[in-house]
Structure 1
Amino acid sequence: MNTLISTGCVPPADRSAHWRDAIARAYFPLDLRFREAERFGGRLEEWNLGQVSLSRLRSEALSYHRLPQHLACDEEEHLLVTIPLRSEIFFAQAGREVYCKPGGYIIERSDQPYDFSYDARADLWVMKVAAAALGGRIRAPDRFCGMQFNAGGGVSGLFVDMLHHIPQRFATMTAEAREAVGLHLVELLALSIHADERTLTSGGSSVRAAHLSRAEHFVRANLHRPELGPELIAQSCGISVRYLHALFRDTDRTLGQWVRDLRLEAVKMDLRAAGARQSIAEICFRRGFGDVAHFSRLFKQHVGCSPGEYRQENLRTCRRDPALDQAEGEAPA
């Protein structure tokens, strides 16, 4: 689905409310503060890519505020990846402040209050993704909120280049292709964050964080191995099993819980993949679970439905009638 919202044909007195509603639908509820509400102009175009929403936002100077009362409305935590193309942006959350110029990007989290603004006409790419989707690829991605990342070179440049191509290709892509592109964007974003040296040193000492990062890379690459456990992980990192467990004492999960959650997130990604033909049993064994019945109970306990129900619900979402999507979306205004 592709939607376009503009203030161009909206009476001046209604523009601020029109824009506020558009922002809430595209991202989540925010408090907006306009310099001159009746002279405000903005344009927001959005492309749905399965589990990812991509938008291009152009507007006059404006400030956005995520307030405590907004948080109760959200059932799932989301992240916004904002890439300025024209003007510098300001962002503050959880005690961190950052000014991000074109050539960089920032990450915002929906589950904490924040302030976001730009003092001149802005042109932004904004990618919205569930925190769990990125968390399946990067340990604790919310620790990178309030940091500026380079968007110009290497895999980061490839990530941004891909955003620019999507609007031209979107209409000719099937629903399956769009979902695959969305997943690819998440993978590129994860690689971009991993490429930043601060990924190793944020949230703890550099030595401790480096060991955690090595463990994370090894586990993600070996989820298919049923024997994946503390001994194998510790051996791959060149540390003792006792020290490996100690690394996780300051996190919100034990090592075993973390590996289990990574496997479940990988299974969810496999079940969401449009066009996938593997049976649930095949996916179960591919992600390192040794018993289908135990896996199914574990999945339902943590996700709230069976693997088959989860797959069917996502298939229904992908196969929705395009006419229905158009009716629910906003026509150009």
Structure 2
Amino acid sequence: MALVCTTASVPDGEKLAYWRDALGRALVPMAVTARGDGPFSGRVSTDRLGWLRVSTVEADAQRTSRTAAHIARSAADYVAVAVQTAGTATLLQDGRRALVGESDLMVYDTARPYSLDCPRRFSALVVHMPRRAVGLPEEDLRRVTGTAVAGTDGLGALLASFLTTLTSSVPPCSPAVAARLASSAVDLFATLVNERTAGDGPPEEDPHHHLVPRIRDHIDRRLGDPELSPQSVAAAHHISVRYLHRLFEEEGVTVGRLIRRRRLEECARELSLRGPSAPTVSAVAQRWGFANPAHFSRVFRTAYGLSPREWRGAGARLPLAG
């Protein structure tokens, strides 16, 4: 359910303080200074779509700034993409000054100080993407933060239209559909960043490849969980299953097969142990996530050419599972 905060019923002398707190809860903590003389007026609505936080802001002229002190007290970092739907703004971050007009997009990083100056009443759509979900290299993010992107043509127009539609037209949907929509938004943003940073320096490897070792580590630490699957791995890393499979295309193995291979390797290693304290075949299978003994026996024989009991009896040593 969306969180909606408005100054409409707040006493005039308390409106600005209320607004500062409302922005801190809906967006991120920041300092707020009103630029007008009369009672301040503002409204902010925020909701979740998958792992995205999507907000709309409409307010009188103001200046907001996020300082190192605010950042130190924050538990999460986001990459923010805002669509200026009315009015203008000036964004300052990383030594850059971006003038943002109506329909333009702006990009900033909540993990670094920034300020945003809106000289008259304005409205904006703000999408916060968790940094780990974006997955772009730090150097690429720093090339686009503190910048404005025209929202009238090219990828900028496509992203602005998609984000606006997410806010205004998407009906309530299941968590799975919400996750796919969030993944699409992140992919569009990453494509925009790649386009804007192409040619700025030497070619970079795929900006998401750093996720692969993290995902492999996640799998290794959860091999004993029978529920471990491509779906659970994707959800844990805030990406879609489709994108997870794309990440592993160059690894030469699907995620499902990698999980099975790593489980079999650990089972084969344990079954090679000798002595009175050596675990039973069924105990080994259960410890490494195989809930069905018959299924375990079949896949083990397919991988190693021997049943688990034959492997133990032969005192085999661990080859690479296929």
Q: Given the two structures, how large is their TM-score scaled by the length of structure 2?
A: 0.65
Distance 1:130 1:269, change over 3 A: farther
Structure having the larger proportion of residues in helix: 1
Larger radius of gyration: 2
Deviation at 1:289, TM superposition (A): 5.3
Q: Tell me the residue number matched to 1:24.
A: 24
Q: Which has the higher contact order (CA 8 A, sep 6+)?
A: 1
Asked if structure 1 preserves the Cα contact closer than 8 Å seen for 2:35 and 2:119, the reply is no
* Structure 1 CA distance for aligned equivalents of residues 265 and 19 of structure 2: 45
Q: Tell me the residue number matched to 1:216.
A: 206
Q: Tell me the residue number matched to 1:143.
A: 143
Q: How does 1:34-73 map to 2 (within 5 A)?
A: 34-36=34-36, 39-73=39-73
Deviation at 1:131, TM superposition (A): 1.4
**Aligned CA-pair RMSD:** 3.6
Could you list the runs of 5+ residues in structure 1 that have no partner in the other structure?
224-256, 278-282, 297-307, 309-333
Deviation at 1:269, TM superposition (A): 6.6
Deviation at 1:38, TM superposition (A): 5.4
AA partner of residue 17 (structure 1): A
Distance 1:43 1:269, change over 3 A: farther
AA partner of residue 286 (structure 1): T
Q: How does 1:1-333 map to 2 (within 5 A)?
A: 1-36=1-36, 39-136=39-136, 140-196=140-196, 199-202=197-200, 206=201, 208=202, 211-212=203-204, 215-216=205-206, 260-261=213-214, 270-272=234-236, 285-287=253-255, 292=262
Which runs of structure 1 show a deviation greater than 6 angstroms over 4 or more consecutive aligned residues?
262-269, 273-277
Q: Secondary structure at the match of 1:29?
A: coil
AA partner of residue 43 (structure 1): R
* Structure 2 CA distance for aligned equivalents of residues 59 and 24 of structure 1: 15
Q: Secondary structure at the match of 1:176?
A: helix
* Structure 2 CA distance for aligned equivalents of residues 130 and 295 of structure 1: 34
Deviation string, structure 1 residues 59-118 (Cα, Å, up to 9, x no partner): 110000111211211233211112212222111122221111123212111122211111
AA partner of residue 154 (structure 1): G
Asked if structure 1 preserves the Cα contact closer than 8 Å seen for 2:215 and 2:233, the reply is no
Asked if structure 2 preserves the Cα contact closer than 8 Å seen for 1:135 and 1:141, the reply is no
- Which stretch has the larger CA shift, 128-137 or 78-87? 128-137
Identity within the alignment, %: 19
Q: Secondary structure at the match of 1:108?
A: strand
Q: Secondary structure at the match of 1:216?
A: coil
AA partner of residue 206 (structure 2): E
